Structure 1
């Protein structure tokens, strides 16, 4: 077994001690020795390297550090050892480990500017991605055989059919909440019967489609980003380009088409389940018969409320599909990027859906569909 490096100290005539190293002064044997050197209390005036068997750059740096910290002299070093010590002594970094932070008045505007610039670049890149998708759509229209019908049907199942349970339960419970909270407030004015109006209009016009879009963004939008991102990471997308298959036609179009066409159906389904939830609560707590509630919905909810909801749904679906596929196509580097891009896809989609919903609310009010 190879001996480890060691040192001894002997008093000198100058009031200090001579520190003499022995054994191999290499990285594999310096772990314990370094701690002992840092706890040394005596004033070292000489560092004797005559007893070492061999030395590497870490050992040379250790000996030079001891000499530097104590302003000591290195003695009995061979020509090779001295050359190594001279080399490591000239490469010491003097820069701070962390750079000094800029002043607050400089740092905040810089951070805001970087954020705004990033948003601008992201918007331009998203518009470019939309353009690439429209070009691929035109290509598929000119060459119908390139349309991946089975892939679209598969995405219909994943986006729509598989989400019926969770969306239905969510909408049913939202209908119950709307009816219960509305009845509590309207009871103060003796107008509990208007709970039907409140539940029906909110479910079909706003909350049904909006909550469905948020659920689809979290469920399908994240899946789009993760699936395509993983394919980018494993170079499957590059392989598709190599064999002449357009990734936009094969991966993006089926997903976007599926979410655009399924969103109106899911939004209508969500509104209906919310109304049923409100009817159930009204039957149990307000004394309004279930079928009376449903027949009253036909009288008090204007048909254009349904049109408003169905008009917003495909636009929300387009935003969700674009955000998920775009973020997936931006994945590069490592697996952590997949998680970051998936999170970005969900946040981006939900944010844009809420912004567009506010825009639609103002727009339809201005055109008289309040």
Structure 2
């Protein structure tokens, strides 16, 4: 006896065995019986259910499996038991528990094809999203009073003002690293004074804006995706549409404007702090006075390097904001999607920023600002 299940094995004709079951064949009690009967090596010719008081689907499945395994005849089943046995017999699956492994030369092209097809849908989604943003800007132009100024100011504070400490620290350390490493290499040629040129040009032209964009992507782009994605899950976005408020105007456009504008200021601020970091190393390690270092920056860095950084900054900010808002608006299903889309927003924004920076480098070289 195991729990509420009783059974006995009786000898039948032709060296076979008759299994007599009793008690309750339920999910709570059938487990130990199943383990014990699976160790029985003989043939079961008949399964007698006349002593069974109660049976559920699990009990019926165990009996049906035993009957199929031993080609047994089921007798003495009540009307309810018969109905359950017929149900589990119809629902029985004969598929493979371990599906065949697809060869790698088939699996890789198949996965690649699925990715390409999914990219098609992603491109259509991006075009649709950009169209919705243009429509939103059009509605603001027609009715300027619909512009959410408070939301824009709030996002400017979150994207710009709150980011000043971390971006300042990052830029200061980058300026120190560039100056220190550059000086070590230039000392081999007796040209350590050119460290000023190195720090000034690479900070104002490239690293200041680029590192700021990467930091903003990780800090604000992820926040955009998580905030809007959570609102999508809690159906706040749908509620806004229901009461006639455009989510694009109220949620997306303020973030785009704030990120685009503040990237100009943050990029310039990052470059200045990076130069200050280089000047500190210049005084400590190279013997170049701090203010002399800053004065030399004005002499050796052409003005167009400043404009290169200022031109790239709003474009990078726009890319970061678009990536964060787009992936936030694509959230659906469950909370796991928020994390997935947040990661995708950061990765896609950083990738796009680096690719665009390469294009900008080639473009400005061709126009004579190299």
TM-score by length of 2: 0.95
Matches of 2:93 and 2:211 in 1, distance apart?
Answer: 57
Matches of 1:83 and 1:311 in 2, distance apart?
Answer: 76
Alignment of 1:257-296 (within 5 A): 257-296=257-296
Aligned to 2:136: 136
Aligned to 2:324: 324
Alignment of 1:59-74 (within 5 A): 59-74=59-74
Matches of 1:340 and 1:80 in 2, distance apart?
Answer: 48
SS of 1:6's equivalent in the other structure is strand
Tell which deviates more after alignment, 90-99 or 339-348: 90-99
Aligned pairs, how many? 368
Aligned to 1:346: 346
Alignment of 1:1-370 (within 5 A): 4-97=4-97, 99-370=99-370
TM-score by length of 1: 0.95
Gapped runs of 5+ residues in structure 2? none
SS of 1:209's equivalent in the other structure is helix
Matches of 1:78 and 1:259 in 2, distance apart?
Answer: 72
- Which contiguous aligned blocks of 4+ residues in structure 1 show a shift greater than 4 angstroms? none
After TM superposition, give the deviation of residue 332 of structure 1 in Å: 1.0
Matches of 1:127 and 1:120 in 2, distance apart?
Answer: 11
Matches of 1:133 and 1:82 in 2, distance apart?
Answer: 63
For the aligned residue pairs, the C-alpha RMSD in angstroms reads 1.6
Matches of 2:239 and 2:185 in 1, distance apart?
Answer: 60
Matches of 1:64 and 1:121 in 2, distance apart?
Answer: 47
Deviations 1:297-350 (A, max 9, x none): 111111100100000000001101111111111111111111111111111111
After TM superposition, give the deviation of residue 84 of structure 1 in Å: 3.4
Matches of 2:60 and 2:114 in 1, distance apart?
Answer: 45
After TM superposition, give the deviation of residue 80 of structure 1 in Å: 4.5
After TM superposition, give the deviation of residue 83 of structure 1 in Å: 4.4
Matches of 1:243 and 1:84 in 2, distance apart?
Answer: 51
SS of 1:46's equivalent in the other structure is strand
Deviations 1:51-75 (A, max 9, x none): 1112223222211211221233323
SS of 2:91's equivalent in the other structure is coil
Deviations 1:59-106 (A, max 9, x none): 222112112212333233345434432342233111224543444333
After TM superposition, give the deviation of residue 18 of structure 1 in Å: 2.2
Tell which deviates more after alignment, 115-124 or 359-368: 115-124
Matches of 2:233 and 2:113 in 1, distance apart?
Answer: 31
Gapped runs of 5+ residues in structure 1? none
